[in-house]
Amino acid sequence: MTYCEVAVEIAHESVSRLFTYRVPEGVALAPGTRVLVPFGARKVEGYVLRVKDGPGDVPADKVREVLRPLEEYPALLPGLIDLAFWLAEETRCLPVEALRLMIPAQMRGGRVRVKATQMARLAVAPEALDAAMDSQKRAPRRLRILEALAQGDQPAARLRAISADGVTKLVSQGIVALYGAETLRRPYAPEADAAPEPELTEDQCRVLEEILPALQRGEGRFLLSGVTGSGKTEVYIRAVREVLGMGRAAIVLVPEIALTPQMVGWFRQRFGESSAVLHSRLSAGERYDEWRRIRRGEARVVIGARSAVFAPAEGLGIVIVDEEHEQTYLSDHHPRYDAREVAQRRCAAEGATLLLASATPSLKSFSRTVPTLRSSLGPLTLLEMPRRVLSRSLPDIEVVDMRGELERGNRSVFSRPLDTALRECFARGEQAMLFINRRGYSTFVSCRACGKALRCESCDVSLTYHRHEDVMRCHYCGFEQKPPETCPHCGSPAIRYFGAGTQKVEEAVRQRFPGVPAVRMDMDTTRGKDGHAKLLDTFRRGEARVLIGTQMIAKGLDFPRVTLVGVVAADATLNLPDYRSPERTFALIVQVAGRAGRAEQKGRVIVQTYDPEHYAIAAAQRQDFRAFFHTEFERRRRGLYPPFTRIARLLVEGRDAKKVQGVAEALYEETDAFLSANPRLKRQVVQMRAMEAPVKMIRGNARWQVFLKLYARGPTQAVLEKLDECKLHVYDNVNIYVEVDPANMM
Ligand code: ADP
Ligand code: ZN
Ligand code: ZN
């Protein structure tokens, strides 16, 4: 008799342990197989995590039997089961919540079906074919069917087009047999032939000389700091090829879907059918099928967004994280994992190399390359590519002080230097990109008489005006309303549209440069799987001369004819209440500047700002990552921000603001008392009093927070456990969340 331990698909604290089941007679179940099991009066899905000979300490007559396996193969690789347990510990989620990340969401609850095509084959032996044909000589269409099948198996539909009756007859006579064949849905069409491989630059060679021996040894953690246009992708490709040559697999993480068309294109050119793509915009079926191609080992190069770090690639040789500074690597919902740390854990466990890369590395990663700054994540080896390929120069960045423009009476979106530069760029027949860090026509609408902005009634944020639809929309809850004729606060008709969203920039381009075709790329124009790719193609083909976009165009795109980049409002990100604002602003400017002058012509970048002296903007202007790093690092040290501390917050939400405040204050008292009772811990923590969250209300729920900074090298675990305990307090109509190093602090 065989037994197994199953993690059941119920995300509740009370069932977080494993349950023992009997394996049915004649069924072989390997760990990692998903099964259907009886649970109380229900049938639930579960994951077999262990197989054993006896029922353990459960009385044998109490043990129930597995109903059936859900797939005929283990959906989870052994390494991924271990990873799930590590993740559950690390992010303080339930094991089953971590296990769920390891399979396509659609697989749960049997919501995806294998797509099968009915095929036909000859049911007679080859030597009996002549006799079979002979028997049909009065029926020319049946003969044609048999002739087709003599060439090989055919889709039944194709043969039915010749004669449906004929197929039925032949099947009933036992000459032809039908069977189902799985077809895999492929999200991308095959790529055209690969461009010739470039000869590596000196920098690329040097970097690969460090990476390749590490690949051979199955170790190494690197941070590749390479300026924009230094040819990082080619390094990835060569490293991946080495890995495939060793019979192993590779995962390449990219931050966002906007990046994938180009990156996917390059990888598909080089690796063809052995590459697979995983991201959230694929249809459920496509995603499931790509996942199975990886699981079966047919695809050994996986390219995908954050969650692709869990791809079932067996024999992993390398994980590459492109644009590693991006926030998108932090999951923004429970379980809140950091894909870079998961990648590191997976690499360590599976004997693979980790390669993080960026033109603007995150402060967190870069500090790990400084030997004197010990990090709990361990050191990274720094690799640098300080030059662009083919001795192309980095673009010059000019900073325009918008306060001066205002003084000179220029109230338009474009400063004079940017206006002139655009004019010259178009006159030369070249392309430009205009970058905006917001979406919508105008960020907010406010009243000139009373100064109040129009706000969402159930969220504490201003509404954004969308010109094409002529509506005001809340970006948190989706609430919409027509723009009012008069101010709802004071009744004045002096309503004014503020800010410079993508639509407003598009409008300004139309007015100033009539006849210059523009495409606008933001959340509103790029819905759907191919939304980005289509707009980018229009631009690539030269049908549009200017590309206007939100931050998503700042990443990784490579358009040789772009010689001018304008950053319309560089400080839009600078004043958000988040300690990472300077880091993000610096990265955005450098990244977006990196889109200019990637071919022969030198690029020009114009950055408009109201705060030109800010160190993030000044360092970005010089594209001086190290200078920025040193200033910012000091600021973080003084302000007790990560990486010197870990940030945690207890977030309290509920309908009744008074009650929410009361709970937040009680939680503060409770944690404060806990810390006071443990002086050793208290010295390691800075705790703020309960206060309203920066966004005071979302969907009608009031929000309060208790904010803590924990010294990174102190005993943080004990404090985090205390916070978890607080989360379990039950108050009617109030929810408590614990967030550690949250991606979004609003
Ligand atoms: P990065 O990611 O570092 O910004 P990319 O990988 O996008 O840079 O490379 C920039 C451009 O340089 C691409 O068009 C790429 O095809 C080209 N490139 C890369 N390596 C070489 C090389 N060794 N010789 C010539 N061109 C190269
Ligand atoms: Zn008003
Ligand atoms: Zn709202």
Closest residue to atom 9 of ligand 1, CA basis:
231
Pairing of strands 701-711, 645-654: antiparallel
Cα–Cα distance list, 36 to 7, 11, 61, 64, 114 (Å): 11, 16, 20, 12, 18
Q: Is 597 in the pocket of ligand 1 (CB under 6 A)?
A: no
Place of tokens 């705060």: 611
Q: Is 317 in the pocket of ligand 1 (CB under 6 A)?
A: no
Q: Is 233 in the pocket of ligand 1 (CB under 6 A)?
A: yes
Q: What is the side-by-side order of every strand in the sheet holding 42-52?
A: 64-65, 19-22, 3-8, 42-52, 34-39, 68-69
| Ligand 2 ion: nearby residues, β-carbon < 5 Å | 447, 449-450, 487, 489-490, 492
Q: 195 or 366, which is more confident?
A: 366
| Residue 456: predicted pLDDT | 79
| Residue 556: predicted pLDDT | 58
201 Cα nearest atom in ligand 1:
23
The Å distance, Cα 391 to ligand 1 centre, comes to: 11
Lowest model confidence (mean pLDDT) among 277-281, 451-455, 559-563, 583-587: 451-455
Q: Is 234 in the pocket of ligand 1 (CB under 6 A)?
A: yes
Q: Which amino acid is residue 673, in one-letter code?
A: A
Distance of CA 358 to the CA centre of its chain: 16
Closest residue to atom 25 of ligand 1, CA basis:
198
Q: Which amino acid is residue 397, in one-letter code?
A: I
Most confident residue range from 114-128, 347-361, 585-599: 347-361
Q: Which amino acid is residue 461, in one-letter code?
A: V
Maximum separation of any 2 CA atoms in the chain, in Å: 98
Most confident residue range from 70-74, 350-354, 389-393, 711-715: 350-354
Closest residue to atom 13 of ligand 1, CA basis:
231
| Nearest ligand (C-alpha, residue 446) | 2
The Å distance, Cα 561 to ligand 3 centre, comes to: 41
What is the tens place of the pLDDT at every residue in 619-641? 999 888 989 999 999 988 888 88
- Give the residue-averaged pLDDT of 206-224: 96
| Residue 577: predicted pLDDT | 62
- Give the residue-averaged pLDDT of 525-549: 80
Closest residue to atom 10 of ligand 1, CA basis:
229
The Å distance, Cα 248 to ligand 3 centre, comes to: 48
| Nearest ligand (C-alpha, residue 263) | 1
266 Cα nearest atom in ligand 1:
16
Cα distance between residue 522 and residue 439, in whole Å: 6
| Nearest ligand (C-alpha, residue 388) | 1
CB 562 within 8 A of CB 430: yes
204 Cα nearest atom in ligand 1:
23
Q: 721 or 179, which is more confident?
A: 721
Distant-in-sequence, close-in-space partners of 341: CB < 8 Å, separation ≥ 6: 90, 377
| Residue 62: predicted pLDDT | 86
| Residue 91: predicted pLDDT | 84
The Å distance, Cα 470 to ligand 2 centre, comes to: 20
Q: 368 or 561, which is more confident?
A: 368
- Give the residue-averaged pLDDT of 586-615: 83
- Give the residue-averaged pLDDT of 113-128: 76
Lowest model confidence (mean pLDDT) among 44-58, 143-157, 380-394, 450-464: 450-464
Cα distance between residue 671 and residue 681, in whole Å: 11
- Give the residue-averaged pLDDT of 124-137: 83
Share of the chain above pLDDT 70, in %: 89
| Ligand 3 ion: nearby residues, β-carbon < 5 Å | 456, 458-459, 474, 476-477, 479
User: In which band, very low, low, confident or very high, does the pLDDT at 196 lie, cut at 50, 70 and 90?
Assistant: confident
Q: Which amino acid is residue 276, in one-letter code?
A: A
Cα distance between residue 276 and residue 292, in whole Å: 10
Q: Is 360 in the pocket of ligand 1 (CB under 6 A)?
A: no
User: In which band, very low, low, confident or very high, does the pLDDT at 56 lie, cut at 50, 70 and 90?
Assistant: confident
Phi then psi for 223, rounded to 5 degrees?
-120, 115
Cα distance between residue 402 and residue 537, in whole Å: 33
Cα–Cα distance list, 438 to 58, 255, 259, 404, 406 (Å): 58, 18, 18, 23, 21
User: In which band, very low, low, confident or very high, does the pLDDT at 440 lie, cut at 50, 70 and 90?
Assistant: very low
Most confident residue range from 73-77, 109-113, 530-534: 73-77
User: In which band, very low, low, confident or very high, does the pLDDT at 439 lie, cut at 50, 70 and 90?
Assistant: very low
Q: 398 or 532, which is more confident?
A: 398
Q: 615 or 533, which is more confident?
A: 615
CB 224 within 8 A of CB 355: yes
Closest residue to atom 24 of ligand 1, CA basis:
198
Token representation of residue 509: 């381009």
Pocket test for ligand 1, best of 558, 595, 601 (most atoms within 8 A of CB): 558
User: In which band, very low, low, confident or very high, does the pLDDT at 570 lie, cut at 50, 70 and 90?
Assistant: confident
Pairing of strands 301-304, 316-321: unpaired
Cα–Cα distance list, 164 to 149, 159, 169, 526 (Å): 15, 7, 9, 44
The Å distance, Cα 488 to ligand 2 centre, comes to: 7
Place of tokens 């919508």: 440
Degrees, nearest 5: CA angle 364-370-372 = 115
| Nearest ligand (C-alpha, residue 596) | 1
Lowest model confidence (mean pLDDT) among 436-450, 567-581, 671-685: 436-450
Cα distance between residue 83 and residue 76, in whole Å: 10
Look over the chain and give the mean of its residue pLDDT values, rounded to a whole number.
Answer: 85
Q: 462 or 176, which is more confident?
A: 176
The Å distance, Cα 229 to ligand 1 centre, comes to: 6
Phi then psi for 335, rounded to 5 degrees?
-70, 135
For the chain, report the end-to-end CA distance as a whole number of angstroms: 55
Closest residue to atom 2 of ligand 1, CA basis:
232
| Residue 382: predicted pLDDT | 96
Pocket test for ligand 1, best of 262, 323, 388, 389 (most atoms within 8 A of CB): 389
Can you give the length of the chain in residues?
746
Place of tokens 């509103």: 524
| Residue 441: predicted pLDDT | 46
Share of the chain above pLDDT 90, in %: 37
Pairing of strands 116-122, 176-182: antiparallel
Please give, one letter per residue, the 3-state secondary structure of 357-406.
Answer: EECCCCHHHHHCCCCCCCCCCCCCEEEEECCCHHHCCCCEEEEEEHHHHH
- Give the residue-averaged pLDDT of 539-546: 90
199 Cα nearest atom in ligand 1:
23
The Å distance, Cα 448 to ligand 2 centre, comes to: 7
User: In which band, very low, low, confident or very high, does the pLDDT at 468 lie, cut at 50, 70 and 90?
Assistant: low
Token representation of residue 494: 């002096």
The Å distance, Cα 474 to ligand 3 centre, comes to: 5
Lowest model confidence (mean pLDDT) among 219-233, 249-263, 283-297, 362-376: 249-263
